[in-house]
Structure 1
Amino acid sequence: MSNSDVESRKGSGITVNTSNNPGLGNEIYTDSNIETNEQNNGNGKLGKWQNFKDSFKEAIPENSESYIDKTELRDYNELTDVERAALNSSRTQMKKDLSTRHLMMIVIGGALGTGLFVNSGGSLNTGGPAALVIGWVIIATMMFSTMVALGELCVTFPVTGGFTTYATRFIDPSFGFAMGWNYALQWLILFPLELVAAAITIKYWNHKIDSDAWVAIFYVFVFILNMLDVKIYAETEVVMSLIKIIAAAGFFILGLVLIGGGGPSGGYIGGKYWENPGAFSHGFKGVCSVFVTAAFSFAGTELIAVMGSECSNPRETIPKAAKQTFWLLTIIYVTMLTLIGCLVPYNDSRLLNSDPDAKASISPFVIAIKNGGIKGLPSLMNAIILIAVLSVANSSVYASSRVFASLADIGHAPKILSYIDRRGRPLVATLFTLIFGLISFIASSSKQNEVFTWLSALSGLSTIFAWLSVCIAHLRFRRALYVQGRSTDELTYVSQTGVWGSVYGIFMNMLVLMGQFWVALFPTDKADAESFFSVWLSLVLFVVFYFGHKLWKKNWTLFIRAKDMDIDTGRKHIDMELLKQEIIFEKQRLANSPLYYRAYKYWC
């Protein structure tokens, strides 16, 4: 910030940094006459144009909320890397405009996509209808314990980056560095991948138009949405996610009709496909394959942690959004896949179609509708698939930019990526993601499959690493509370499954990794090195990041000692006695409520 900028802001009550670290200065100014756009008061074309230009300038630090800062009496340059990470991540300039509704729909936008509408067809073929239900239910139990643990950490520490920051603070900076970069790369690569998938989906109707033309249209659409205010972006995700939810509800009704023999081209189906060709395909290995696919279908649920610093009221918003999103996704997945298992036999030849240009036609939802003899609806379902793919592409830009910005905040990425503009957008990180997305213009190339296969391999296991880090960080945080003589009484939200839920989450994630190892190494009866590295290359990258950071920082400790953890910086100043009274009052109120209401409040 230049001296002229500082001088222009004097008298405003806003803290402006004058030290080496942005946001940590202690000189106070007022917000009068800060910029030309305020002088124009937004009136007329000049004022609107000036407002638009000024919106891209760096955000002015605000002191609207009070946070605990254990390092405030020490010089910034004397702080350790972990202390700097805790301090910087707690001083975000992002706008706190997101509500429970926004959080739920953004998470659904990132999680409810090709995993349900397309990839479930491959899982049906490899595992069978019973394996679909078993795999998704078991993974759902793991996801609940992980989500509530994540909710506890997010409510306690509503900081930028969520679990990437928690891994650095409560596990080890090198682990946080490796996991954060691996996770950011996942969303970075997913953006162009989904744009290409959207272009391929269009080929269901038209094969003549070049795929790059559709990529260009979709790219501009996503670009504009991510350059708008976060609230506008969130409202767009609400609309697209609602379309997917309505489509799932519509298919539920249609599926029941078709199973009962109400379709134009079919009699009573019932559970005949569970008997012939059978409930399971490819035995136990098929179940493991579905188990792995089910885990990856929930990828995106952890975005709640990434959005924690942009919530208007974390204490109320995050727990409700975490639990309700989990139940909504689980009900949609299990219900839809149960119906698909009844409507499509696992040996249907269309499920084996490996042609990428036939991506839409191999959707088990489209196959089920075609089998029922209903005309017109396959095209409608394909349109839903297209919306789902674009929604995931949109969410990937949001997620990637926020994670890169948080990595920059805690010193794990170039500082420029932490630039937040006056609309609360991580502008540089967003532009970086959008520029990388230009790789999607290889959609017309014959080499696109090879390129994206190996790009995806760089972060193929990042979601599992993220969930593992959440469970481990939660255990380490609870251990720090115990060792430092503190308790969960001071927490505004406590995980329903507690530490044992996180232990269960770690165990289940390790099972998923073992299943992925087996399926990747032996896709058939013989070992396949290319198949193995197309999945496990991400582990190699994780190890390189981890030990690279160890060498860079010369940090050879395995984990941070519980007695040395900072479990205060980044937490809001709260009157603990008042909080305890509020909790007691709430418990008494719930105790006098009907049983169904108490169960609802506990689980949802």
Structure 2
Amino acid sequence: MTKPSEESSQGSTVDAKKSYISKLPNEITKDEIDDTSDFTQEKVPAKLGFSGRFAEFRDSFKRFDLGELDPNLSDLEKANIIASRSPLQRKLKSRHIQMIAIGGAIGTGLFVGSGTALASGGPASLIISYLLTGIMIFCTVQALGELAVAFPVAGSFLSMCSRFVSPAWGFVISWNYAMQWLIVMPLELVAASLTINYWHSNVSPAVWVTIFYVCILVVNIFGVKGYGEVEYWLSVIKVIAIVGFCILGIILNCGGGPKGGYIGGKFYHNPGAFNHGFKGLCAVFVTAAFSFAGTELVGLASAETENPSKTLPSASKQVVWRIFGFYLISLTIVGLLVPYNDPRLLTANSLSATASPFVISIENAGISVLPSIFNAVILISLISVANSAVFGCSRTIASLADQGFAPKIFGYIDRMGRPIMGIALSMLVGLICYLSVSPKESEAFAWLMALSGLSSVITWATICLSHIRFRQAMKAQGRSIEELSFTALSGVAGSWFGLGLNVVVLGVQFWVALFPLGGKPNPTSFFENYLNSVVNVALFAFYLLWKRRKSIIWIHAKDMDLTTGRRDVDIELVKQERAEQKAFMASKPWWYRTYKFWC
């Protein structure tokens, strides 16, 4: 019989061996290690040396093996299985998702683009358009939350579009979404370099875009955890800045600034609440949609979230705080402080922070230092959105490859869960940012923006349609919504509203593009505002020619796959948890119930 001390010694030796093996480079297997007796606590190194860490870093870029797939499966079935097996690492914590939901997409659209919107439609049009768009966004994110919790797979709404609508439209929307983020990244870097010119910098824009470019590359090399941590702190800064502006704006409106003087609502009377009438209101809708772009990234991150079933429902609810607390309140204050006919709103470069109504309102109050501080916040916001663009694009490119819509090499995901080829493509296209030193910069970026201008609107419409079709499939296949651990607060009705409003936005944008404000119809103006829709029609036609007889235009509800990648749910346990939660909430005061309903 072995003595206890010997057993203890032997056990510790085995543990030491296992610990050492786990720290070795991945190509060294257990079979290549000698007998257990050779491993003692004294022989186990405290940490890997430089060569070991370098080998570990090098091997992290090796491809993650997804295993074999049945060759007899259809393209759609293969795509669903690959999405469910995704090696993307679940490293985003609750605080990352919460802050990304609240402030992750706040950037150029709000801080700078709102100036163009104010000049086009006036302060009343600004509030009406952002309010309706905000309600639509809330319904869309709720629908996305329900789908993402039920199917926390790679590609999120992109792969679910192919599953619940059709592979044909999935091809279009995936490339449309990828193209959006491919273009946003260099645009934001150029806008960041122009923002620095607020301080009258004599340094070439190429220097600044290089610095920002390298920083974003480094962040994404650290994987999703690096992205989440950076976005968390950048979002905190943006949220603090907006809250501070709202407080300051109320003080300035009441005459508390250095220049003094009560402002109130005088700019609603002179020059007026509306500009360009109904057409001006319609023109603001597109700017409002651009301002909310990126809200859907919460759903795209579901495959890399530690506990999506608990984190995503809360995050999808908190979008309402961003809509009403940050957008509507701040823009209401902006409309009170800056008249829509202020020449700085339109004469300044549209990508520059000098056109920001936030900065203009502070300058009008005679505050000398604060405009520079807020300009720095705008710079941070631009870098944040550029960083999010690389995250969104790389995941979209990987999803395209998984669905068979792009070369398989783009589906390369390494052992750290990084979609390396997607990141590489995004950074490669990002080199367009060096057009900032070209004399044709404005013209080039106007056409780049045209390629992705309506992308977000089409994406949101597709998310709402996917949710509607998912519920139709549940009903057609005799499934109950009791199986869902989270259901959209807005229900199917909210998705119909979101789908309808997005279609209306596409319609009014066609009208404004065809008959521009203050001008006559011309091809250049039309395609600068509506080129994205033309590209989507071309993508759809290409898919039909590519797949020919294999193309699937529409999937019937009874044929939809409601199983692959589905989160395992114990229906009886879900019902029990709901009953306990209802009883718990009933015992709480009304203010607590209200808080938990929206948070």
Q: Check if 1:488 corresponds to 2:481.
A: yes
Within 5 Å, which residues of 2 pair with 1:366-377?
366-377=359-370
State the shift of 1:504 in Å: 0.7
Q: Check if 1:326 corresponds to 2:320.
A: yes
Amino acid at match of 1:466: T
Give the superposed CA RMSD. 2.0
User: Matched residues in 1 for 2:210 and 2:98: separation?
Assistant: 29
Q: Which of 404, 414, 418 is residue 411 of structure 1 equivalent to?
A: 404
User: Matched residues in 2 for 1:169 and 1:578: separation?
Assistant: 28
Q: Which of 46, 57, 60 is residue 55 of structure 1 equivalent to?
A: 60
SS in 1 for 2:62: coil
State the shift of 1:110 in Å: 4.7
Q: Which of 14, 17, 26 is residue 35 of structure 1 equivalent to?
A: 26
User: Matched residues in 2 for 1:505 and 1:477: separation?
Assistant: 15
Within 5 Å, which residues of 2 pair with 1:33-432?
35=26, 42-59=47-64, 76-107=70-101, 110-355=104-349, 359-432=352-425
State the shift of 1:341 in Å: 0.7
State the shift of 1:331 in Å: 1.4
Amino acid at match of 1:370: E
What are the superposed Cα offsets for residues 485-534 of structure 1, whole Å, 9 maximum, x if unpaired? Answer: 11101011111121111111111101111121122222224213211111
Residue aligning to 2:432: 439
User: Matched residues in 1 for 2:46 and 2:422: separation?
Assistant: 30
User: Matched residues in 1 for 2:23 and 2:363: separation?
Assistant: 65
User: Matched residues in 2 for 1:184 and 1:61: separation?
Assistant: 23
CA contact (8 A) 1:350 1:362 kept: yes
Question: Structure 1 pair 481/259, CA: closer, same or farther in 2 (3 Å)?
Answer: same
What are the superposed Cα offsets for residues 244-263 of structure 1, whole Å, 9 maximum, x if unpaired? Answer: 11111111111111111111
Q: Which has the higher helix share?
A: 2
CA contact (8 A) 2:83 2:153 kept: yes
Residue aligning to 2:7: none
User: Matched residues in 2 for 1:355 and 1:499: separation?
Assistant: 42
Amino acid at match of 1:561: H
State the shift of 1:100 in Å: 2.7
Question: Structure 1 pair 415/109, CA: closer, same or farther in 2 (3 Å)?
Answer: farther
Q: Which of 571, 580, 584 is residue 566 of structure 2 equivalent to?
A: 571
User: Matched residues in 1 for 2:46 and 2:531: separation?
Assistant: 54
Q: Check if 1:596 corresponds to 2:591.
A: yes
Residue aligning to 2:580: 585
What are the superposed Cα offsets for residues 444-494 of structure 1, whole Å, 9 maximum, x if unpaired? Answer: 101122222212222221111111111111111111111111110101111
Question: Structure 1 pair 158/166, CA: closer, same or farther in 2 (3 Å)?
Answer: same
Q: Which runs of 5+ in 1 are unaligned?
A: 1-29, 63-71
What are the superposed Cα offsets for residues 345-392 of structure 1, whole Å, 9 maximum, x if unpaired? Answer: 1111211214458x2222111111111111111111111111111111
State the shift of 1:597 in Å: 2.6
User: Matched residues in 1 for 2:170 and 2:48: separation?
Assistant: 47
CA contact (8 A) 1:191 1:437 kept: yes
State the shift of 1:591 in Å: 2.8
User: Matched residues in 2 for 1:386 and 1:516: separation?
Assistant: 29
User: Matched residues in 2 for 1:473 and 1:144: separation?
Assistant: 16
CA contact (8 A) 2:125 2:274 kept: yes
User: Matched residues in 1 for 2:259 and 2:63: separation?
Assistant: 61
CA contact (8 A) 1:135 1:290 kept: yes
What are the superposed Cα offsets for residues 101-132 of structure 1, whole Å, 9 maximum, x if unpaired? Answer: 21233355552011111111111111111111
Residue aligning to 1:6: none
User: Matched residues in 1 for 2:101 and 2:509: separation?
Assistant: 24
User: Matched residues in 2 for 1:175 and 1:350: separation?
Assistant: 42
More displaced 10-residue stretch of structure 1: 475-484 or 575-584: 575-584
CA contact (8 A) 1:41 1:47 kept: no
SS in 2 for 1:208: coil
What are the superposed Cα offsets for residues 403-432 of structure 1, whole Å, 9 maximum, x if unpaired? Answer: 111111121111111111122111111011
State the shift of 1:36 in Å: 5.5
CA contact (8 A) 1:255 1:339 kept: yes
Amino acid at match of 1:589: F
CA contact (8 A) 1:37 1:51 kept: no
- Structure showing greater radius of gyration is 2
State the shift of 1:89 in Å: 0.6
Corresponding residue pairs, total: 563
State the shift of 1:99 in Å: 2.1
Q: TM-score, normalised by structure 2?
A: 0.90
More displaced 10-residue stretch of structure 1: 88-97 or 517-526: 517-526
Question: Structure 1 pair 163/370, CA: closer, same or farther in 2 (3 Å)?
Answer: same
User: Matched residues in 2 for 1:153 and 1:55: separation?
Assistant: 31
Amino acid at match of 2:473: A
User: Matched residues in 2 for 1:375 and 1:192: separation?
Assistant: 31
Q: Which runs of 5+ in 2 are unaligned?
A: 1-20, 34-44
What are the superposed Cα offsets for residues 277-313 of structure 1, whole Å, 9 maximum, x if unpaired? Answer: 1111111111111122112211100111211100111
Residue aligning to 1:461: 454
State the shift of 1:173 in Å: 0.2
CA contact (8 A) 1:100 1:320 kept: no
User: Matched residues in 2 for 1:362 and 1:226: separation?
Assistant: 30
Question: Structure 1 pair 331/109, CA: closer, same or farther in 2 (3 Å)?
Answer: closer
User: Matched residues in 1 for 2:179 and 2:467: separation?
Assistant: 24
User: Matched residues in 2 for 1:349 and 1:137: separation?
Assistant: 26
Q: TM-score, normalised by structure 1?
A: 0.90
SS in 1 for 2:202: coil
CA contact (8 A) 1:106 1:395 kept: no
Q: Which of 553, 572, 580 is residue 547 of structure 2 equivalent to?
A: 553
Amino acid at match of 2:494: G
State the shift of 1:592 in Å: 2.8
SS in 1 for 2:110: helix
